Amino acid sequence: MSVMSIVEALNTALVEEMRRDERVFCLGEDISDANGGYGGAWAVTRGLHDEFGAQRVLNTPISEILIAGASVGAAMAGMRPVADLQYGDFIFCMMDQLVNQAAKMCYMSGGKVHVPMVLRAPVGASTRGAQHAQSLEGFFTHVPGLKIVCPATAYDAKGLLKSAIRDDNPVIVFEHKLLYGGKRVERDALSTKGEVPEDDYTVPFGEAVVRREGSDITIVANLLMMYRALEAAEELEKQGISCEVIDPRTLVPFDYQTVINSLRKTKRLMIVHEDTYTNGWGAQLGSYIAEHEIYLLDAPIKRVATYDVPIPFAPVMENFVVPSVKRIIDEANQLMKA
């Protein structure tokens, strides 16, 4: 067991998988640290070049269509590419390759072709303005054929990335900039250092985890919002409101059962995400519960999400639009009165 940040855990997962399977390789912009390179915009691929060389730690031109398309092609032809995006927002430059190609190839071929590729994409507001900030998870949950993963702890980062690399389908791993815990200093970053086993474990897709047990409200929250929900739960406990906090860990497939089990106890559901409100992934979860388990509920479902605006630059505005601990507490109090 060693204690490490999410960056270190992701790096460890890549190293172990590349050692285990020579079909695994990384590609992306500035991912190599040879000759003074970055080793990835968030240093996740630092050190890989020394062990695996330029072909398996492949620096690409600034060409997102190429990165995604080459990943699709390499995956179809027997490799296991792990593509790296510097900022999740750049994903829109490669939309055709993800949505029309990666996600549909297996289906269009009648199951004869498969696309075992991984795309890692950092999300989350971090005072960089609207084009380096978006939380994209909801977008991609709407694409049949993709799997969507969002690790919030170092343990999950290693275990989920390994599962993603071993999965036979295209997987997008959304990582949060303020949770990386790398050397790059970020305002409002959280320390995510945690215990990570040294052995070769994986975290299966479709298994949510209860991060805190409680009896009054079930809060489902991912990535940074999971930590804010935990902080809010701490404060709410002092006010006499007991919150159960669930981290879904993967959005596709989604573990509805863990949420339902929790609701049998709490009868109240709050969903917190940094994705924007309208048709964020919480809309699906809320609808699902309303559709299948509405009689479990004693109160309307509460969604706490980023307001429906692009992410503004000024910290005072950014802090306002993204759900804060205070907003979660206020909404929880409202929910208890409902």
Partner 1 sequence: MKLPKQEKALSMYRSMQMIRKYEERIYYLFLEGAMPGSIHQSHGQEACAVGLLHDLKKGDYMASTHRPAGHDLAMGVSLKSMFSEMFGKKNGCCSGKGGAMHTGDIEVGAVPANAIVGGNIPIAVGMAMSCKMRNTDNVVISFFGDGATNEGSFHEGLNGAAIWDLPVVFVCENNQYGASTSIKASVKIDNLSDRAAAYGMPGVTVDGNDVLAVQKAAEAAIKRAREGKGPTFLELKTYRIAGHSRSDACAYRDDDEEKEWFSRDPINLFRNVLLESGIKESELDAIDTELDEEIEEAVEFARNSPDPLPEDALTDVYWKGAR
* Under rule CB under 8 A, residue 69 binds partner 1: yes
* Under rule CB under 8 A, residue 21 binds partner 1: no
* Under rule CB under 8 A, residue 290 binds partner 1: no
Q: Minimum CB separation from partner 1 for residue 66, in Å?
A: 4
Q: Which of 241, 240, 292 lies closest to 270 in space, CA to CA?
A: 241
Cα(235)–Cα(220) distance, rounded to whole angstroms? 17
Cα(229)–Cα(211) distance, rounded to whole angstroms? 10
What residues act catalytically? 132
Q: Which stretch binds partner 1 (CB under 8 A): 38-46, 58-66, 210-218, 330-338?
A: 58-66
Q: Binding mask 138-167 vs partner 1 (x if CB under 8 A, - otherwise)?
A: ------xx-x--------------------
* Under rule CB under 8 A, residue 28 binds partner 1: no
Q: What is the dihedral of CA 50, 51, 55, 57, to 10 degrees?
A: -70
Burial of 110 (C-beta count, 10 Å sphere; 0-12/13-18/19+): exposed
* Under rule CB under 8 A, residue 100 binds partner 1: yes
| Contacts to partner 1 from residues 36-55, by CB under 8 A | 55
Which one of residues 77, 185, 294, 316 is an interface residue with partner 1 (CB under 8 A)?
77
Cα(212)–Cα(224) distance, rounded to whole angstroms? 15
Q: What backbone phi and psi angles, to 5 degrees, belong to 240?
A: 90, 15
Q: Assess contact for 301 and 268: CB atoms under 8 A.
A: no
* Under rule CB under 8 A, residue 12 binds partner 1: no
Which one of residues 78, 185, 191, 294 is an interface residue with partner 1 (CB under 8 A)?
78
Closer residue to partner 1 in complex, CB, 108/314: 108
Q: Minimum CB separation from partner 1 for residue 12, in Å?
A: 23
* Under rule CB under 8 A, residue 131 binds partner 1: no
Which one of residues 72, 208, 271, 329 is an interface residue with partner 1 (CB under 8 A)?
72
At residue 149, the 3 state secondary structure works out as strand
* Under rule CB under 8 A, residue 35 binds partner 1: no
Q: Which of 11, 37, 36 lies closest to 26 in space, CA to CA?
A: 11
* Under rule CB under 8 A, residue 110 binds partner 1: yes
Which one of residues 1, 35, 36, 61 is an interface residue with partner 1 (CB under 8 A)?
61
Which one of residues 7, 9, 41, 79 is an interface residue with partner 1 (CB under 8 A)?
79
Total residues contacting partner 1 by CB under 8 A comes to 44
Q: Minimum CB separation from partner 1 for residue 52, in Å?
A: 12
Query: What DSSP string describes 188-243?
Result: T-----EEE-SS-----TT--EEEE--SSEEEEE-HHHHHHHHHHHHHHHHTT--E
Gap between the terminal Cα atoms of the chain: 45
Q: Which of 102, 189, 186, 113 lies closest to 148 in space, CA to CA?
A: 102
Contact residues toward partner 1 (CB under 8 A) are 25, 55-56, 58, 60-61, 63-66, 68-79, 81, 96-97, 100-101, 105-116, 144-145, 147, 168-169
